[in-house]
């Protein structure tokens, strides 16, 4: 297969995600009703039903897979597809862990998210495959809309941290070290 993320693979992956989303909503429907998730876990704020997931998750998955495919196709030489898979899986596992610890009532998810901001200074966590893995990892516990909202906020924060803050620090350090070597 010449294409790493071929049309067939994108269709299969989106189909699997769609089936899992429908299975999740069907399970909820037949076991007490489809839940609604509220912003900041407060019923006073707007709520989003898991029914939105049957539409949003497949569309988001397809859209993000197309973006990843275009990014890989635009690269010169042979792109490293395994890095994309590792980034997706690491974000998926992270999202699952945040969901698990939140469901257990732990404060650990807050610290995990703060630590992720620090990590984003060194690692470009704003990539599309990170976002897709994060949203899919958290969709079971938090529904569809909340992971997309918070994932987008964190994605922008990671982008600013890596592209602006990190670049500024690197620039200042390079100016400081180049100025001290000229004095000697």
pLDDT band at 184 (very low <50, low <70, confident <90, very high): low
Structure tokens at 99: 């969901």
Alpha carbon of 90 to those of 9, 57, 75, 93, 124: distances in Å?
A: 20, 19, 22, 5, 13
Q: Mind listing the pLDDT tens digit for each residue in 72-131?
A: 888 766 667 889 999 999 999 999 999 999 999 999 999 999 999 999 999 999 999 999
What pLDDT was estimated at residue 78? Answer: 66
What pLDDT was estimated at residue 180? Answer: 60
What pLDDT was estimated at residue 63? Answer: 97
Q: Which residue has the higher pLDDT, 166 or 180?
A: 166
pTM of the model: 0.88
Neighbours of 138 (CB within 10 A): 26
Mean pLDDT (the chain) is: 90
What's the mean pLDDT in 21-35?
92
Is pLDDT at 59 greater than 60 in this prediction?
yes
Q: Which residues does residue 38 pair with via DSSP β-bridges, in sequence order? A: 47
- What residues does each domain of the chain span? 7-183
């Amino acid at each position: 297969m010449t294409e790493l993320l071929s049309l067939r693979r994108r269709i299969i992956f989106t189909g699997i995600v769609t089936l899992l989303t429908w299975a999740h909503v069907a399970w909820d429907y037949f076991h007490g009703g489809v839940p609604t998730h509220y912003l900041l876990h407060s019923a006073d704020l707007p709520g989003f039903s898991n029914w939105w997931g049957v539409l949003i998750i497949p569309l988001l998955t397809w859209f993000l897979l197309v973006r990843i495919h275009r990014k890989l196709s635009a690269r010169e030489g042979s792109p490293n597809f395994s890095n994309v898979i590792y980034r997706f899986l690491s974000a998926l596992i992270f999202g699952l862990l945040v969901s698990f610890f939140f469901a257990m009532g732990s404060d650990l998810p807050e610290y995990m998210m703060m630590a992720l901001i620090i990590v984003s200074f060194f690692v470009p966590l704003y990539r599309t495959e990170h976002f897709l893995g994060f949203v899919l990892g958290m969709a079971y516990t938090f529904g569809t809309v909340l992971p997309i909202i918070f994932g987008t906020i964190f994605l922008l924060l990671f982008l600013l941290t890596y592209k602006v803050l990190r670049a500024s620090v690197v620039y200042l350090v390079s100016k400081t070290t180049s100025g001290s070597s000229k004095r000697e």
